[in-house]
Amino acid sequence: MRYSEMFLPTGREVPSDAELISHQLMIRAGLMRKLTSGVYSYLPLGYRVIRKFEQIVREEMNRAGAQEVFLPMVQPAELWQESGRWAHYGKELLRFRDRHDRECCLGPTHEEVITDLVRNEIKTYRQLPRNLYQIQTKFRDEIRPRFGVMRCREFGMKDAYSFDMDEAGSEISYRKMFDAYQRIFTRCGLNFRPVEADSGSIGGKYSHEFMVMADSGEDAICYCGACNYAANLEKAEISRPAENGPAGMTPPVEEVNTPGVRTIKEVCAFLGVAPEAVVKTLIFSADGTPVAVLIRGDQEVNEIKVKNFLGCDLLELADDAMIRKVTGSPRGFAGAVGIKARIIADYSLLGMADCVMGANREDFHLRHVKPGRDFLIADHADLRVVRESDPCPRCGAEIRFARGIEVGHVFKLGTKYSKAMRAAYLDREGQERTMVMGCYGIGIGRTVAAAIEQNHDADGIIWPLPLAPYPVIITPVNVNEKVLFSAAEDLYHALEANGVEVILDDRDERAGVKFKDADLIGIPYRVTVGPKKLAEGKMEIKTRRSGEVIALPVSEVAAFLIGLISAKDLALSTKICT
């Protein structure tokens, strides 16, 4: 494509809401423009990158045996009522009524639609397993759209859904998708890590998130330096610690007046104890039933772990009325002794034999409390947020922290949807059985943004070759010099004839301006056609990533570039781009 004809508005201006470098660069390099909050248009250059990525996704999904479909974006409420999500999904689900007053929504995901399709068409074990995928627009009315297409409201997603006869089959489907994802992100030349994750509102058994490593990422990742354990912070586990031997004598409980003392820090200062000797009592409402969660003063409760442990649908901190009911005092003084609620404790309480906690009485604390003697704990469990240097749950080495961007997610759904929506088949014996499902998403725009987050410098984007909108840009330094420009044009035609996507910067601009734009839009290889080298019969090829420049005889340039670019082989393309 000739630069002069391209719709490619580059610039230095960045919108004030663009905090992330990828967001800034996607605007500056003319990849996209904002229409309204969380809704973006892709311009030609940006859309090329999107299509490059989609193609890689498609190839790997097909290779893994999934088949492409295209499902509707508008979905009837009835399906969501059947699955039970109409009531639970909340405000991210954009709901509306059509002219016949029928309730609908814009699909934020497609479990309901695909399950409906499959239950109507698949009847016997002979038709299983199946894996269907699509690359399609989703709408989620995110509460805080930000970071450009990283967290927007309307976005492209690849979503796949597997249907199997049983758990063992589902495991195989999950593995295939897991492997396909490894290949997809490897082919893109990204530094990524699969991490164990919670199954969230979609529900189901377990899941992995694929994280592109980036300090700017929204997600906290815990990983082990010694083994390959990795999990997101929500999910990261703590093993049950070995219990200490019998503790010494604990003096009797003593009630202490602690006026105005509220926080752990204030309690420690007032009573002269360490946070490790204090127990926090948090009262939750689990589907309306009060539960007291105990944790050591220096630790934080992980509400997702509490929710999973209790197996409840809705977990929230108790309101004032519930607190008063179970403790007999206002908020802020809860303790386990005499509380009228089931008590569960984090493992951090194991071995504690002399602690400080709230007295269930305004402005009082208890000291010398001994769990087991002064109150009973129904269960000990892993309920806390992991901290850096905690022991790895697999091998015991130290856990480290990093940040990442979630670009993909593979879930085992079990029979959550197939049961609710009656997706059943007849097995070999003619028995009706419920299909076992999995679902697998990749954020298309988010991956492209993540690729920029990981591949840029002060001058602009540095596209990994497999995602580059064009692998080559030819920059004649002066378009008014005939010999020079026609040499550039010859190369342009030679590359195009060989299927290389190439930009010819035919603008009548200073060389410096053109170089800046080429760097900004991140084209992997720039061929400079200048008078000095051309007089020697040569052109220069500059690699965007390394800055390395080599001069080659004019006659060899096209073949050299074609060789580099057609190195489609996985390992090779990865090597080139990282």
Strands 342-346 and 379-381 turn out to be parallel
Nearer to ligand ATP, 408 or 476 (CB): 408
C-beta of 366: minimal distance to ligand ATP in Å? Answer: 40
**Least distance from ligand ATP to the Cβ atom of residue 51, Å:** 17
In the complex with ligand ATP, the residue whose CB is nearer, 411 or 463, is 411
Round to whole Å and give the CA distance between 277 and 353.
Answer: 9
Nearer to ligand ATP, 109 or 170 (CB): 109
Nearest distance, CB of residue 406 and ligand ATP, angstroms: 5
Nearer to ligand ATP, 365 or 446 (CB): 446
At its nearest, how many Å lie between ligand ATP and the CB of residue 577?
Answer: 20
Region at 25 (left for phi over 0; alpha for psi -120 to 50; beta for the rest): alpha
| Phi, psi (deg, nearest 5) at residue 483 | -60, -45
Dihedral class, residue 460 (left if φ above 0, else alpha if ψ from -120 to 50, else beta): left
In this complex, which beta carbon is closest to ligand ATP, that of residue 142 or of residue 427?
142
Peptide bond into 72 cis (omega under 30): no
Residue whose CB is nearest to ligand ATP in the complex, by number:
443
Residue 305 as a binder of ligand ATP (CB under 6 A): the answer is no
155 binds ligand ATP (CB under 6 A): yes
Q: Does 160 bind ligand ATP (CB under 6 A)?
A: no
Is residue 441 at the binding interface for ligand ATP, with CB under 6 A as the rule? yes
For residue 57 the two structure tokens come to 């996704």
Given candidates 85, 110, 151, 538, which one binds ligand ATP under the rule CB under 6 A?
A: 151
- Decide whether 345 or 444 has the Cβ nearer to ligand ATP: 444
Which residue, 217 or 524, is less far from ligand ATP as judged by CB? Answer: 217
Q: How far apart are CA 164 and CA 172, in angstroms?
A: 9
Name the residue nearer to ligand ATP (CB basis): 233 or 349: 233
- Of 129, 204, 443, 466, the one binding ligand ATP (CB under 6 A) is 443
CB nearer to ligand ATP: pick between 380 and 409: 409
Minimum distance, C-beta of residue 20 to ligand ATP, in the bound complex (Å): 13
Contact pick of 164, 346, 382, 406 for ligand ATP (by CB under 6 A): 406
Residue type, 438: G
CA–CA gap between residue 4 and residue 223 (Å, rounded): 49
Under rule CB under 6 A, which residues in 185-244 are in contact with ligand ATP?
200
d(CA 28, CA 461): 10
- Residue from 152, 468, 502, 527 touching ligand ATP (CB under 6 A): that is 152
When binding is defined by CB under 6 A, the residue of 54, 103, 142, 300 that contacts ligand ATP is 142
Least Å distance between CB 445 and ligand ATP? 6
With respect to ligand ATP, which residue has the nearer C-beta, 34 or 446? Answer: 446
Q: Given candidates 140, 187, 208, 384, which one binds ligand ATP under the rule CB under 6 A?
A: 140
Q: Which of 194, 297, 408, 471 binds ligand ATP (CB under 6 A)?
A: 408
Is position 157 an interface residue for ligand ATP (rule: CB under 6 A)? yes
525: Cβ contacts below 8 Å, ≥ 6 apart = 471, 472, 473, 541, 542, 543, 544, 561, 564, 565
Q: How far apart are CA 538 and CA 550, in angstroms?
A: 10
Q: Give every CB contact of residue 86 below 8 A, 6+ residues apart in sequence.
A: 77, 80, 93
Residue 453 as a binder of ligand ATP (CB under 6 A): the answer is no
Residue environment code for 241-258, b if the CB has 16+ CB neighbours within 10 A, otherwise e: eeeeeeeeebeebeebeb
The window from 68-76, 277-285, 305-313, 437-445 that contacts ligand ATP (CB under 6 A) reads 437-445
Q: In three state form, how does the secondary structure of 40-65 look? A: EEECHHHHHHHHHHHHHHHHHHHHCC
CB atoms within 10 A of CB 420: 17
| Residues 6+ positions from 520 with CB-CB distance below 8 Å | 10, 25, 28, 29, 459, 460, 461
At its nearest, how many Å lie between ligand ATP and the CB of residue 308? 16
Q: Tell me the helix, strand and coil percentages in the chain, rounded to 5.
A: 30, 30, 40
CB 302 within 8 A of CB 324: no
Which of 52, 380, 384, 446 is close enough to bind ligand ATP by CB under 6 A? 446
**Number of residues lying near ligand ATP (CB under 6 A):** 16
Q: Which of 407, 467, 557, 577 lies at the binding interface for ligand ATP (CB under 6 A)?
A: 407
| Minimum CB distance to ligand ATP, residue 383 (Å) | 22
Contacts of ligand ATP in 62-121 (CB under 6 A) = 109
CA Rg value for the chain? 30
> Stretches 261-269, 300-308, 334-342, 442-450: which one binds ligand ATP (CB under 6 A)?
442-450
Q: Which residues pair with 108 in a beta bridge?
A: none
Question: What is the closest distance, in whole angstroms, from the C-beta atom of residue 446 to ligand ATP in the complex?
Answer: 4
Cβ closer to ligand ATP: 406 or 505? Answer: 406
Looking at the Cβ atoms of 64 and 152, the one nearer to ligand ATP is 152
CB of 140 to ligand ATP, least distance (A): 5
For ligand ATP, which stretch binds (CB under 6 A), given 26-34, 46-54, 150-158, 569-577? 150-158
For ligand ATP, the closer CB: 93 or 407: 407
Residues with Cβ within 8 Å of 264's Cβ and at least 6 positions away in sequence, in order, are 275, 278, 280, 297, 298
CB of 89 to ligand ATP, least distance (A): 11
Helix 482-497 × helix 554-565 angle, to 10° = 30
Smallest distance, Å, CB 157 to ligand ATP?
Answer: 5
Q: Which residue has the tokens 């009548």?
A: 508
Q: Are strands 525-529 and 472-476 parallel, antiparallel or unpaired?
A: parallel
Residue type, 312: C
What is the C-alpha to C-alpha distance for residues 5 and 476, in angstroms, rounded to an integer? 16
Binding site for ligand ATP (CB under 6 A): 109, 140, 142, 151-152, 155, 157, 200, 406-409, 441, 443, 445-446
